[in-house]
Structure 1
Amino acid sequence: MPTEYDNYVDGQWIESERGGTFDVRNPANADEIVGAYQDSSRIDVETAVDAAVGAQESWRRTPGPERGSVLTATGDALEDRKTEATETLVREEGKTRSEAAGEVQRAIDIFRYYGQKARDLGGTAKAASGPATELYTKREPLGTVGLITPWNYPIAIPAWKIAPALATGNTLVIKPASAAPNSSRILFECLETAGIPDGVANLVTGSGREVGTPLAEHEDVDAVSFTGSTTVGTAVARAAATDLTRVQCEMGGKNPTVVMPSADLETAAEIVGVGAFGTTGQSCTACSRAIVHEEVYDEFLEALTDYAASLDVGPGLEDPDMGPHVNASELESTLEYVDVAREDGATLEAGGSRLTGGEYDDGYYVEPTVFSDVESEMRIAQEEVFGPVVAVLPVGDFDAAVAVANDVEYGLSASIVTHDLGQANRFVERVEAGVAKVNEKTTGLELHVPFGGYKGSSTNTYREQGDAGLDFFTSIKTVYMNYGGR
């Protein structure tokens, strides 16, 4: 029998109201059940929100340095369990051991970062127009917040929502993705070890319909932070907007890397390849379009195809170059896009098939895939695949490259590979993306700077991470203090 894991509500590990569970399986070996999790309902959401609301006032009044100490201790507790957390992440999500270890370390760093930021929370002082008057601002927590997180970064993304929410004095309820909830469970055990007060942080597992929607719509939830698909994020934003709940949604991407003639093509192929095939392409910032100047198109395509063919694909615990898809549904979706690309006239240069035979038969493996002869209006160049598939598009000049890069509904991350400083600066100015990189892959983010997208990649309200993460979870109060009388 698989281990059964409970919800965490009001400082207690408890079963869901109706007592049912759902299984999560190892993507590298679908016969292995990683764990059974609570199949929660709207009633469980109500109980968790009530607990969070009940703890609001006490946590709000807890001094910032004291809140920060809890976050720092959480990071320390997670570091003590880093090997366990890494293997848990691999077994439930499918990342390679190296990728998972890097993600766990990021979560550790995030808690420590916001543990220190909690000591510096404050406002600004301004010069008043009259005598004997002080004019200043102060940050205040929103109250109780709902967090809805995806499966592709199952410990880092919960960390970068939970930590700033708690640092600023909010209480919370989180619904992790059902495909990979165990990493969030470890985070909550670390919060418990660190001494988080009862009711301040609550974890409820279950479906989007039974848990996510009620959480987003709850009248006592003062803000909702969501990461996931554009379709679901748009629905979350609409649900929250009915009572003017503050909302932050980070969603999909169709991220380009532009390759210009001045680039070193082996380096460019590696930048594109790592961005496209790392984390099995299951990243909102993954490179899914290589937009290449026609002068170097053929040479670049050959280098990228060779790179894809060189990758070792296998179970994440063996630390190959690329692991499996998270589940059968994601694998099927990727293979469907391969068929769509062929039907639309793109040329398959590498990969494109499910890997079979031996250990591959037990999991959700696909080959790293490269398409050439892609035109911008094709679905493979417009729609988010969320798998290790990259479309290579030829362009005649820099202006055409930027136009093609912007010719999608998304605007999350974009990069250019060039040794021309003028092109690099013009690209940064003109590309429609929340993250712009020069001579770097589209993936990979620093935790102390804002992250978010343009267009369909974001609700374009608040950014995440760094000081921007604190902005979302606080309101600004302006104070006029006349101490001299009238």
Structure 2
Amino acid sequence: MIPNDAPSNPWERTSLPNGRHLIGGEWVPARTGEVVDVIDPSSGTVITTVPRGDATDVDDAARAAEEAFPAWRDESATVRGELVHRWAELCRERASDLDALEAFEVGRPLLGSSPIPRTIAYVAGAADKVAGLTLPSHHPDALGMTLREPYGVCGSIIPWNVPGKLMAADVAPAVAAGNTIVVKPAEDAPLTVLYLAALAQQAGLPAGVLNVVTGYGAEAGAALPENARIRRMSFTGSPDTGRRVMEACSRRLIPVHLELGGKSPQVVLGDADLSRAVPAIVTSMTFNAGQVCAAGTRVVVDRSRHAELVDRVAERVANLRMGSWDSGADMGPLINARQQDRVLGYLDVGRGEGADVVVGGSRPSGAEFDSGFYVQPTIFDSVTPEMRIAQEEIFGPVLAVLPVDGAEEAVSVANGTEYGLVASVWTHDVGTAVRTARRVQAGQVYVNTMGSTDVIGAPFGGYKRSGFGRTMAADTILDYTQVKTLIIKAE
């Protein structure tokens, strides 16, 4: 455990070395010796440095993973599961530290704990449940069966918005299934991933099973799917980058899982309970400053409830407090200056398209906001479906309100983007809820709630431009295996 007199800076509390990433069980600098600054988004100051890895570092990590693979593949599934479970236990012991570290580097308010231990523990229990099938045969002396075998070295590119949970959701099933893995975290938020890797080391994961290479996406990230040792890829991030990852995987003919963007609708029908819908809408648009692929940034509302909903959401948003991760604020900054400029640019786009700013619409004023990357939570009303602010993923605390006439139009508007990650439906009528939820094109649809944290093992992934493949489900571990058919005939 971290001692009580340890530094208050969450990164310093980990006691991990600056300027090092994990390759083959060793904490090493980049081959070039170059580093990348990790910036505190609340203040704009440098937290620490991490290696500026490139293709050479990626190959070093992939080679270490390749060398570790045979022994890890042949290890008992029970032992693999026990080691992953021990990793989960260490994460549980340090759950508040994990929460603080991720909040610090991303800029979001503290959650009070961390969902990471549950994610890892859930997968650990599946390690020795992976099984094949016995096949029927035409001959009494023939025996047919299928075996589930790991791919080998996997690659994983993790985004900056929820790095800890997404790293755990990718690494845990990969290694539990007998694969080894190379992880490339985002340069803006690599620290939680590095700390999780250190905890996996402490849990007894053998050297080379889990490797982390830090650096820029265009350098280390681009090199990962191109590396000849990588046999399977996972990517979470923007559709444009996901397309490039998929193109690289297609050239090498290796499988890839993509979890991409969203423009999630929250469908509020005429009989909706606004006392439940309004808090959920505000939380969904402002959690992590709207920098979540599943953020509900479009409200498709029945015209009969439109004015009341806008007033109630605006009142709640106007009373939100902004501030740093440890200030007790309701919402923090955006991740960096580029993202701040992007979101402010979309606010100009919305005004130019004729949408009305109900609340927010600019940077907050005050000395405490001058050095961080803050943008006010903003509500746009009088939005029409063809507007860019209703079609494009902004990745910021920006809500577009689209009034409609009835459930039919609501479904049409909800489905009227390229994305299909999540959606919510708010209504008292069970029949309407079922019909609407079935017709909305999204990988997850919530009724009278927004989020899947109350359900264990809910598959997460999207339709359309939001990607393909599912994570966090009971059978996710099978996606990290390939099927071998074995046929034996007696002499």
Q: Same fold (TM over 0.5)?
A: yes
Q: Please, which of 458, 469, 480 is the counterpart of residue 473 of structure 1?
A: 480
Are residues 5 and 77 of structure 1, via their aligned partners in 2, closer, same or farther at CA, if it must alter by over 3 Å? farther
Structure 1 residues 128-137 or 217-226, which shifts more? Answer: 128-137
State how far apart, in whole Å, the 2-side matches of 1:341 and 1:443 are.
Answer: 30
Q: How far has the Cα of 1:116 moved from its partner?
A: 1.0
Q: How far has the Cα of 1:444 moved from its partner?
A: 4.9
Q: Deviations over 1:53-79 (max 9, x none)?
A: 111111100011101111111111122
Q: Please, which of 132, 137, 140 is the counterpart of residue 149 of structure 2?
A: 140
2:421/2:461 contact within 8 Å kept: yes
Q: How far has the Cα of 1:267 moved from its partner?
A: 1.9
Percent identical:
36
1:415/1:441 contact within 8 Å kept: yes
1:266/1:303 contact within 8 Å kept: no
Q: Does structure 1 residue 238 correspond to structure 2 residue 252? A: no
Q: Which amino acid aligns with 1:12?
A: E
Q: Does structure 1 residue 75 correspond to structure 2 residue 88? A: yes
2:278/2:309 contact within 8 Å kept: yes
In structure 2, what is the equivalent of residue 219 of structure 1? 228
Map 1:257-336 onto structure 2 (within 5 A): 257-336=266-345
In structure 2, what is the equivalent of residue 151 of structure 1? 160
Q: Please, which of 19, 24, 27 is the counterpart of residue 38 of structure 2?
A: 24
SS at match of 2:326: helix
SS at match of 2:275: helix
State how far apart, in whole Å, the 2-side matches of 1:41 and 1:265 are.
Answer: 51
Q: Please, which of 97, 114, 118 is the counterpart of residue 84 of structure 1?
A: 97
Q: Deviations over 1:214-237 (max 9, x none)?
A: 111111110110000011001100
2:156/2:183 contact within 8 Å kept: yes
Q: Which amino acid aligns with 1:130?
A: H
Q: Deviations over 1:15-74 (max 9, x none)?
A: 11000111111111113x211000011111111111111111111000111011111111
Q: Please, which of 11, 15, 19 is the counterpart of residue 5 of structure 1?
A: 19
1:141/1:475 contact within 8 Å kept: yes
1:230/1:252 contact within 8 Å kept: yes
State how far apart, in whole Å, the 2-side matches of 1:132 and 1:467 are.
Answer: 35
Are residues 367 and 284 of structure 1, via their aligned partners in 2, closer, same or farther at CA, if it must alter by over 3 Å? same
1:451/1:464 contact within 8 Å kept: yes
Structure 1 residues 34-43 or 471-480, which shifts more? Answer: 471-480
State how far apart, in whole Å, the 2-side matches of 1:267 and 1:114 are.
Answer: 32
Q: Deviations over 1:281-311 (max 9, x none)?
A: 1100001100001111111111111111121
In structure 1, what is the equivalent of residue 51 of structure 2? 38
Q: How far has the Cα of 1:469 moved from its partner?
A: 2.0
State how far apart, in whole Å, the 2-side matches of 1:445 and 1:355 are.
Answer: 34
Q: How far has the Cα of 1:467 moved from its partner?
A: 3.1
Q: How far has the Cα of 1:445 moved from its partner?
A: 7.7
State how far apart, in whole Å, the 2-side matches of 1:70 and 1:226 are.
Answer: 25
In structure 1, what is the equivalent of residue 8 of structure 2? none
Q: Please, which of 29, 39, 49 is the counterpart of residue 15 of structure 1?
A: 29
State how far apart, in whole Å, the 2-side matches of 1:442 and 1:378 are.
Answer: 26
Q: How far has the Cα of 1:420 moved from its partner?
A: 1.1
Q: How far has the Cα of 1:479 moved from its partner?
A: 2.4
SS at match of 2:396: coil
1:9/1:199 contact within 8 Å kept: yes
In structure 2, what is the equivalent of residue 169 of structure 1? 178
Q: Does structure 1 residue 64 correspond to structure 2 residue 77? A: yes
In structure 2, what is the equivalent of residue 339 of structure 1? 348
2:452/2:458 contact within 8 Å kept: no
Q: How far has the Cα of 1:442 moved from its partner?
A: 5.0
Q: How far has the Cα of 1:192 moved from its partner?
A: 0.7
Q: Deviations over 1:136-161 (max 9, x none)?
A: 22210001000000000010000000
1:53/1:143 contact within 8 Å kept: yes
Are residues 134 and 428 of structure 1, via their aligned partners in 2, closer, same or farther at CA, if it must alter by over 3 Å? farther
TM-score, structure 1 as length reference? 0.95
In structure 1, what is the equivalent of residue 134 of structure 2? 125
2:270/2:406 contact within 8 Å kept: no
SS at match of 1:150: coil
Q: Please, which of 97, 115, 127 is the counterpart of residue 124 of structure 2?
A: 115
Q: Which amino acid aligns with 1:413?
A: V
Q: Name the count of aligned residue pairs.
A: 476
State how far apart, in whole Å, the 2-side matches of 1:181 and 1:446 are.
Answer: 28
TM-score, structure 2 as length reference? 0.94
SS at match of 2:211: strand
SS at match of 2:125: helix
1:229/1:252 contact within 8 Å kept: yes
SS at match of 1:393: strand
Q: Which amino acid aligns with 2:23?
A: V
